[in-house]
Every structure is written in structure tokens, then in C-alpha cells.
Structure 1
Amino acid sequence: MTMAASATRRSNSANAAPESAVRTVRNLWPYIWPHRRRDLKLRVLVAIVFLVMAKIITVLVPYSYKWATDALGEAGGETASLLAVPVMLVIAYGVGRVMMIGFNQLRDAVFAKVGQHAVRRLANETFVHMHQLSLRFHLQRRTGGLSRVIERGIKGIEVIVRFTILNTLPTILELTLMAAVIAYQFSVSYVGVLAVMVAIYIYFTIRASDWRIAIRREMNESDTDANSKAIDSLLNFETVKYFNNEKLESDRFDRSMSGYETAAVKTLTSLAWLNAGQSVIYTTGMVICMVLSALAVLDGSQTVGDFVMINALLIQLFMPLNFIGTVYREIKQGLTDIEEMFNLLGVAPEIVDKPDAPDLDVAAGAIRFENVSFHYDPDRPILKNISFEVPPGKTVAIVGPSGAGKSTISRLLFRFYDVTGGAIRIDDQDLRDVRQTSLRAAIGMVPQDTVLFNDTISYNIRYGRADATDEEVYEAARMAQIAGFIETLPRGFDSEVGERGLKLSGGEKQRVAIARTILKAPPILVLDEATSALDTHTEREIQAALDTVSRGRTSLVIAHRLSTVVGADEIVVLEAGEIAERGTHGALLDKNGLYASMWERQREADEAEERLRIAQEEEYALAKAGEDADPDRDRDRDAAHEPDAERISR
């Protein structure tokens, strides 16, 4: 039963392959023949003209070779004047070959812009499409594998575009012209031999190439897996070091590369078999035709020039024949590489705007959740009939235990997902009825985990509004209470923050996030546990900056540390996806319910943290007072308390 199932899968795969290839080529055609680009279409036509001229000259060149050979034979030991004719024919032969090569090069030069335009356009569309896909897709993706799919797809586009227009049709044209010349100059029997040889050659090439494509897919999968593991490991460099697991990571990567090595060896071995088989088939056909011509020369029906000409024609024929194998292999491999990219482009965005959806019109900025329900999985509801309102210019906080659904609320407000029940409205406009770009333009976000671009501090702050001036960037940094720190850096605002901002501390990254939100100047502000990962001292400094940002704006604060929301106009307490309590800080403490118990636990934790901090400061003060004049110890202590500015500079 297993063998039958395997055979069925292979049969289904074989039937699906041609259909998949046709679909991929059909998808690619608009990029080869771009709509509304008459200049590129003209380039395609001019390239085809050069191509046809090159093929005609290619077929005619062996005639000059034949005539030169016959002329030399007739001239024998005659005078120099008689030798002028074969010499001129030899020169003509050389000129013909130069013209053939020249037209081919002109064809490639004219078509280059068409091919590169197709590569650029499809690569850009893929990049744009990736940003249009839902958050659910990106949470499930593997960044390294995804980047490899796009990289191979882009290369595959160039291969397919070049070979489709510049090689497939020309090869067919050259074979047709060659067959006509051989039939005219020699006889139909030669054409018959060549037809059988070409048929066997093409059949063998296609079968062998299909076999190699399966190996190529296996190699691509191993390559993607290895690249995914490498990228994932490097992105988690610190975690690898924390747990001393360099050996584990190298072993995982090496196992993936082992699969790639095996598939690569199979690929190269299969290529050797393919080339050997093609040579045997071609040589057999060539020998038969040469024997026929030699016999004809012996009986006087052909000249030596004819013998030389058939040899030249057969050598000339081998080039397009060999190219058939190359074209088929390259197109099949290119289709394999690009297939995944088109599959990626075929993934439909989960969240889409309605046709002719208007922009969000924010007048007051009131937010209202009306009986909102949501689930990622129908069997596991996250939010259950949540209703609350954030009045214009007021601050409402969402608190609750982990897993209560707090962060899901911010994702729904940004419309990363659509609610499964109820509605979310801003100024009485359902978020599902307005354009997503206008919605997100109206909301500023300071997230819990701030990830920065590997660029300068200035770039990361200006990301809030790309057209902001340097003065506006500085003012935003000043309001976020980070301008002073930036000015102590050797390169100031041009300082690089490193991969994901790792050159900055947690508090510094949060201030950059606050600065770019200030620069964006949105009417609505969402603070998603913006200080939960910080120590108490840093939290107080960041909270002061957040209070500045929130002033006069409609603010939704999702908090883990309750001390950050004591001044909120209303606090909504979530538990298991439902509203357990709501009210002001004082009113909720008076209820002595869930919020009061959470507050008490946090107060005890904060007191313990404060006691530990005081003890550490006292221990450090005593050690400093009792230390002797040991320069090495002083240097070690100074390095341990190195200023942030010096650390960033390094």
C-alpha cells in the first residue's frame, strides 16, 4: 500500500509539473512584455531582429567555408592571382563569423534593460506584498528561509526572461534553417539522420533534466533550511552565548549543510551523466553524416568542399542542440526557483480594505470597543464581549494577568487582525470600513519591545515622520529626554545603534521609540507595556517622558506595572478575556478585588527591589572606602561602571 501511495504521489507530481510551469510562465509574461512600456517592447522587437540576422548569417557561414575549400583545391599550384579567390573566401568566412557574434552581442545589449526591468519590478512587487501580508503570516515565517526564496526567485526571473526571449525561439529557428540548407545542399537522407538524432537528443535531455530538477528541489530545500538556521542563530547571538550552545548551533547548521552537500554532489554527478549522454548521441549522428559524405566524395557526387561544409554544419548544429539542453535545464531550474516566489505572491493578505474605503477622519479621537470578541483559534477565545470607551483627550489603562488579552487589544486597534465579533470604532467609524493606512497614520505606538533599524539614531527617530527637519528631530529627542545623552556620543545623532538597536540600553531604546512617536504627532496614542522590562528608576524617567507625549491625546495604556497607570482616567481590569473590574486607581483599591491584589504583589516586589538596590549601593560604598591604592582594581571597577556614551562609541 505504501508503494502504491508513493507511486500515486509521483504520478500526481509529474502531472502537476507541466501545469505549474505553464502557470509560472503565464504569470511572468507581463514582466517580459510590460504594459504601457512601449520603449521596452521596442527593445524586445529590435533584439528579435538582431537575433534573426545572427541566425541567418550563422547558417550561411559554412557556404564560404565550402567555397574556399573547393577554390583552394582547384587552384593547386597556380599563380597568386588564382589564389586570391580562396583567400577572399576565407576572409569572407571570418567576416561572417564576426558579424554573427556581433549581432548576438547587439541582441544581448538591447535586451539587457528589458530583463533587468523585469527583475526589479517583480522583486519590488514581492517586497511590497510581504508588507501587505497579515501579522499572522509574519509570526509564522522563517526570515532566513524567506530571504533565500526571494533571492533565488530574483535570479530565476533573470534566467527565464533571458532564455525565453533570446534563446528558445532562436534555437528553433536555427534548427529549421539548418535542416533546410542540408536538405537543399545534400539530400533528405541526411535530414532523416539528423531528425532521428535530434529527437533522441531532446528526449534524453528532457528526461535527464527532469531527473535533475528533483535533485535541485532537494538541494534548494536543504539550502533554505541551512540559511534559516544560520539567520535564526545569528539573530539570537546573545541567547547562544548565555547558554554556551555554540556547539549545538554549529551541529544544527552542519546537519542542514550535510543535506545540501549530498544534493549538490548528486546535481554535479547527474550533470556529468547528462553531458556524456548528449555527446554520445550527437557524435553518433555526426559520424553517420560524415561517412555518407565521404562515400559521396569517393564516388564523385560531392566535392571535398561539401565534405568540409557538412562537417561545419554539424559542428554549427551542435551549438543550438547543446543550447536546447541548457535552455531546458535553465528554464526548468529557473521555474523551480521562481515557483516559490510566485507562491509567496499568491498568498492573499488576511486584512484588506473594502473597495473605495474612505480615509479615517479623526475629529475628536474617541475610541469605543463594542462587545468585541476575538480568537486566533475558534476553540480558544481570547476576548469575550469586551466593551469600553476612551473619551477624547483622556487616558484609559488596560491591566490584568498575563494571557488576559491585553496586547491583543492593541493589535485589534491597529487592525493587524479583524474582530470576530462586535466592532471597534474611532469617532463612530468602524475600523473595518476605513483604509488601513489612514488608521495607522492616526495612531502612535510605543511598544514593550522596541526593535530599532540597524542605522543611525537620527534615522530611527525620523522614522516617525520621514520628511521631518533636523530641528524637529532634535526637539522630539529633547521631549523624550534623550537629546542630552545623544549629544555626549562622538557622532551624536549619526551614531549607529547596531542590529535591532543592541548598542543601546533598554531605557535608551524606549526613549528613541518615544521620540519617533512624538515626531509622528498622532492624535491617538497606544502604550503597550512600554516600561514593563525596565528597572524602577528607569521606569520613572521613561514615565515622565510618556506623560509628556500623552498630554492632550487620546491614550490607551496597556500596562504590566500598575504604578505607571495610577493617574489614568479609568483602569479596565481584564481576566481570562473578560472585564473583571473597572474604575479609577483609588476606586479599584477600595473594592479590594483583583486589581487590589495585583497592586499589593507589585508593591511588595518594588520594596524588595528597592531594598536590594540600597544594599548594593551600601556595599559598593564600603568597598570603595576600604580599598587600597590598587591601580588594577581601580581600572577594573571603572570598566564595570563605564558610561553609556563610551560604550556606544566603541
Structure 2
Amino acid sequence: MTTTSSRQTEKGSLAVLRRLLPFLLPYKRQFLLAGIALVMAAGATLAIPYAFKQMIDLGFGGAGTSSRDHIDLYFIALFGVACVLALATAARFYMVSWLGERVTADLRSAVYRHVVMQSPQFFETTQTGEVLSRLTTDTTLIQSLVGTSISMALRNALLFAGGLTMLFVTSIKLSSIILVLLAVVVLPIVFFGRRVRRLSRDSQDRVADASAMAGEILNAMPTVQAFTHEAEESRRFGASVEQAFRTAMQRIRARSLLTVVAILLVFGAIVFVLWLGAHAVIRGSMTGGELGQFILYAAIVAGAIGALSEVLGEAQRAAGAAERLLELLSVESPIQSAANPRPLPPRAANGAAVSLKNVTFHYPSRPQYASLSGLSLDIQPGETVAIVGPSGAGKTTLFQLLLRFYDPQQGAILLDGVDIRQLDLGTLRNAIGVVPQETVIFSANAIDNIRYGRADASDEEVIAAAKMAAAHEFIERLPEGYRSFLGERGVRLSGGQRQRIAIARALLKNPPLLLLDEATSALDAESERLVQGALEAAMMGRTTLVIAHRLATVQSADRIIVMEHGHIVETGTHASLVARGGLYASLAALQFSPGMATG
């Protein structure tokens, strides 16, 4: 309860922006230079009303040569002040703009680096479109804050403080009256500022919702078009955009009201005080130059307050954006490398040994259902083990636990006798090659897609892996061969070609443990024959686990594990399991009976 309460208190104020300090502190020197330029620009601005007072009282109010000398001097001084103001303003603009761009780039990199380190559990509950919205829209708001708003706030705070001081120097009575009136003005500004911040957060959430929806649909366009849902998806996105628009308009109306209130109250107070000053000049208790100076300083103070209210609105929006980004940065992945990781034993010539000891696992999103329950299994180095069973039996879950995308709630998994939780994540995953059921092809050329398996591989090694995966021939036929761009998600390739690219990627890695999740599922009969031969050669010298629904592809495995409802129900060879007449025999009968397709 205490944590929740304190978090809500922080969200209710601009204190959340203080959490951005780690991204600002590395650039103290640049902030110092920007501060110097800022002080010089503010000082030059504050010097202008005093120069006007001198011109009015000593120049226009006098006569003769002395008067002309004074007026020439003060005009030269005024131009000198303008030169200082111009140079200081340009320097301030350059430095704060640099800071805005630099801090935003650092923040984007930090958020992205943090997100890609998250476990799959994070992506079960977070849409990628929302993450992208935070990386783009939200960081742009923070860029505006760092690159403009902070500088404007400091500049106008200096002008406000300096202007107010000079108002008291000019006339204590009038300044006291205007100070009381300005204090009354601040209250509605603060009240409306809080409402703007809440609406800004809501507005950014609605934009993220629309982005997430668009990303999901654009990645599934063939399915959308196959079911003729284009109009429906357009309507859904339009409704989401309209919701974002309505929320944004609430924010805009609130900011407009804030601006109206601030300007009316501030300038109303100033006009009233200036009316009193005009009467003081008429009575002779104040000179014309002093009133002119007072008017200019009052305008500077009023302008500073108006600008501060505007900056406050921007800061409120940026606070909402910062909240959302810092939420991402505060998420801790439950899967972490060991604090003092153990090394793996030297690689054996025939692959890795794998042991599962009484493993029980529930997905975080389905805690009431055990995907694996009390599973124990020992796999010897160099052994090829096929895992079969109906959908939902826990086959793919087993692979995810081996890769340590999740940790089991009970039991342990050993790789070459070492609990994988005691290994560095990089060490563990570098020891495992995987060909997933859903192939991922990146927006790059063929050679870079295969080299994803091992970044330091030479072109010759990449081509050798492609030949082993029966991918070399079709790659050579592409317009630019291995340098051909494959399109987003590999849209220029057939399903079988994408699968062979993925197999080549895994073979290039040359791991001691190979995981094949329906590795030949997307291949036609001829390609399957080629790849099956390549995989059999690749299995030499390594331990291989194969998930397959088509039993024809696993008949030659050293051992077949049959799973159902998270348990191992049968173990043996193809022949022994068929003879036993259990679940495997039933699956085999469905696939191998006359009239049924075997592929």
C-alpha cells in the first residue's frame, strides 16, 4: 500500500521528471555552457529597460550638447546590449538543441536496449506497437522538454526574478501591489496545469493504442484480406484514432483555458498597476523614465509568467511521456544471468548432455494450468531424440525452458551437468541452435540473414551452411544472389525457402545442442528430402531434439518421447512404440493408414 501511494503521489507531480536526471548528468559541461549563455541573454534583456529609462530621463528630458552626448552614448550602449543578446541567445539555442537531441538519442537507446533484454513473459502482456509509440512519440516530447522547455523555463525564471527585483528598485509601492495580484494569478495556473498533465497522459495512451492496433493489423494483412476484413479493420482503427483525437482535444481545451486565464489575469493586474503609475507621474512622484522602465520590466515579468505557464503545459505533457518511458525502464526481467556464472565444461566431440529433473512449469499468463508437470528426462551426448504428441502436450514449452525464455517453478534443467540457471544467458544460448516452427526473416539480404547465426562468420562459412541446408541453389537464382534483399519478414521467399534460410542460420552457429521445432513443416516433398538429408548430416557430432507432427520425419531418431498434457507417456523407437499400441500407435495409424497423407 505504501509503495502504491508514494507512486501515485509522484505521478501526481512533476517529480517524475527528476528520474530523467541520470540521462542529463553525463552532459554537465554542455549544461554549464548553456547556463552561461542563458544568464548572459537574460542579463542583456534586463538591461534594456534601464537603457530606455536613461534615454528618456537624460536624453529626451535634457537639452544642449550634453543631452546629445548622452543620447548617442545610450543608443550605442543599447545596440551593444542587442549584440550580446543576439550572440548569447544563439549560443543558448545551439547548446540546448544539442542537449535535446543527445539526451533523446540516449533515452531511446536505453529503452530499446532494456526492452530487448526482457523475457517472453513481457511480450505476452505488452504490444510491440505500444513500445514503438513510446520510443517515437514519447521521446519526441522529452526532446522538446530538454531541448526547449527547460531552457525556456530557466530563461523566464531568470527574467521573472530579475524583472521583479528591478520593479521593486523602480517603485516599491507599485511592485508590492503587482506582486500580490500575481500571487493570486498563480493558483488557477497550478490547478489547470495538473489537469493538463493528466489529460496529456491519457492522450499519449490513446495514441499508443492506435499504433499498437495498426502494427498488429499491418503484420497480418494476408489474413485480413483473405477474410475480407479490410473495411472492418479500417473502421476499428478509425474509431481508435477518433478516441485519441477526442482525448487530445480535451487536453487542448484545457491548455487553451489555462492560457486565457493566465494572460487575462496577468495583464489585467499589470494594466491596473500601470494606471496607478500614470497617476504617480501626473502627481510628480515618479519620472517619465521611471514609468517607462517600470512598464518594460512589468512587460518582461508578465511575458515570463505567460511563457512559464506555456512551458508548464509542455512539461506536464513531457512528464506523462517520461512516466511511460520510465515504466518500461523499471520493468525487470525475471530471467537474469547468474550473478557469478559457471562455465560450461569443454565441448565434447559428440554434443551436449541434457537432463530435466522433475520439471513443473506454469506460464505466467495461465498459472492455473501446468504445461509441464513433474517431467524428468535424460538425453545423452550425440543422441537424437524426437518429441511427439498432440497440440498442447508441452513440446514447444520444453524448448522454451531449454533456451531459458522461462524458468520452471519446480525442478531443474542441466546442460552438461550444470544447472542452466547458473550459466550466463549468452553462454547458454550460444550453446543451442534452434530452428523455430515460425521462421523469422529480417529485412536484410540473404547473406546477412544467415550470418545472424554467427556474426563473425566469413562469407565462405555462410555459403557452406546454405549448401548444407539446401538453400544455396535458390539463393544463387535470386537477382543479386546472396546480396539480394529478402523483403520485410522475407516476403520475397516461399515458406520452404524461408525455412531453409533458418536452418542454414542454425547450422552456421554450429552448437552442441540443436533444437528443431517442425523444421521441415513448410517444405514441399522435394525440399523436405533435401533438407532432411542435410539435417541428418548436421546432427552428426551434436545432440538433437526434434519436435515433429509428421511422424515420417522422426522414424530414424534414436529415441522417441511421446508427450501428453505435460507428461511423458511413452518412450521408445518407432517400431517398439507402434507395437505397444498406445498413443504413438494411434497417431501413426492416423498418418500412415491407406488414403491418409503422410506429408
TM range (shorter): over 0.9
1:30 pairs with 2:28? no
User: In structure 2, do the counterparts of structure 1 residues 29 and 402 end up closer, same or farther at CA, with 3 Å as the change threshold?
Assistant: same
Q: TM-score, normalised by structure 2?
A: 0.93
Cα RMSD for the two superposed structures: 2.3
> Which secondary structure does the structure 1 equivalent of 2:593 belong to?
helix
Q: TM-score, normalised by structure 1?
A: 0.86
* Contact 1:145/1:228, CA 8 A, preserved across alignment: yes
Deviations 1:230-249 (A, max 9, x none): 11111110011100111100
> Which secondary structure does the structure 2 equivalent of 1:566 belong to?
coil
Pick aligned residue for 2:310 from 321, 326, 329: 326
The amino acid across from 1:66 in the alignment is K
Deviations 1:63-87 (A, max 9, x none): 11111223442356x57x8435324
1:97 pairs with 2:97? no
> Which secondary structure does the structure 2 equivalent of 1:579 belong to?
strand
Q: 1:114 Cα shift?
A: 3.7
Pick aligned residue for 2:206 from 222, 240, 243: 222
Q: 1:15 Cα shift?
A: 9.3
**2:331 — aligned with what?**
347
User: In structure 2, do the counterparts of structure 1 residues 16 and 139 end up closer, same or farther at CA, with 3 Å as the change threshold?
Assistant: closer
1:336 pairs with 2:320? yes
> Which secondary structure does the structure 1 equivalent of 2:390 belong to?
coil
User: In structure 2, do the counterparts of structure 1 residues 582 and 114 end up closer, same or farther at CA, with 3 Å as the change threshold?
Assistant: same
Alpha-carbon distance in 2 for matches of 1:606, 1:369: 39
> Which secondary structure does the structure 2 equivalent of 1:374 belong to?
strand
1:369 pairs with 2:356? yes
Pick aligned residue for 1:487 from 459, 463, 476: 476
Unpaired stretches in structure 1, ≥5 consecutive residues: 1-11, 35-39, 611-650
Deviations 1:17-61 (A, max 9, x none): 545546523321121112xxxxx3222222222222222222221
* Comparing 319-328 and 165-174, the one that deviates more: 165-174
Q: 1:163 Cα shift?
A: 5.8
**2:530 — aligned with what?**
541
Q: 1:378 Cα shift?
A: 4.1
* Contact 1:536/1:606, CA 8 A, preserved across alignment: no
Alpha-carbon distance in 2 for matches of 1:13, 1:162: 32
* Contact 1:296/1:302, CA 8 A, preserved across alignment: yes
1:455 pairs with 2:439? no
**1:3 — aligned with what?**
none
Alpha-carbon distance in 2 for matches of 1:323, 1:279: 10
Pick aligned residue for 1:60 from 36, 40, 47: 47
Q: 1:202 Cα shift?
A: 2.3
Alpha-carbon distance in 2 for matches of 1:554, 1:23: 54
1:360 pairs with 2:349? no
Pick aligned residue for 1:16 from 8, 24, 28: 8
1:110 pairs with 2:77? no
1:474 pairs with 2:424? no
**1:137 — aligned with what?**
122
* Contact 2:563/2:570, CA 8 A, preserved across alignment: yes
Deviations 1:89-110 (A, max 9, x none): 2342233133124213212323
Alpha-carbon distance in 2 for matches of 1:279, 1:165: 21
1:298 pairs with 2:282? yes
Pick aligned residue for 2:68 from 60, 83, 87: 83
Deviations 1:274-322 (A, max 9, x none): 2222221122122122212211221222222222212211222223212
* Contact 2:496/2:522, CA 8 A, preserved across alignment: no
* Contact 1:396/1:570, CA 8 A, preserved across alignment: yes
Alpha-carbon distance in 1 for matches of 2:5, 2:181: 29
* Comparing 536-545 and 205-214, the one that deviates more: 536-545
Percent identity between matched residues is 35
Unpaired stretches in structure 2, ≥5 consecutive residues: none
> Which secondary structure does the structure 2 equivalent of 1:363 belong to?
coil
* Contact 1:362/1:426, CA 8 A, preserved across alignment: no
Pick aligned residue for 2:29 from 21, 42, 47: 42
Alpha-carbon distance in 2 for matches of 1:183, 1:291: 17
Alpha-carbon distance in 1 for matches of 2:437, 2:11: 48
Summarize the alignment of residues 351-500 of structure 1 with structure 2, pairs less than 5 Å apart: 351-364=335-348, 365-376=352-363, 377-500=366-489
Q: 1:156 Cα shift?
A: 3.4
* Comparing 286-295 and 16-25, the one that deviates more: 16-25
Alpha-carbon distance in 1 for matches of 2:268, 2:332: 53
1:123 pairs with 2:120? no
Equivalences, count: 591
The amino acid across from 1:26 in the alignment is R
* Comparing 522-531 and 286-295, the one that deviates more: 286-295
Alpha-carbon distance in 2 for matches of 1:301, 1:606: 113
Deviations 1:493-533 (A, max 9, x none): 12222221122111100110011112111111010111234
The amino acid across from 1:127 in the alignment is Y
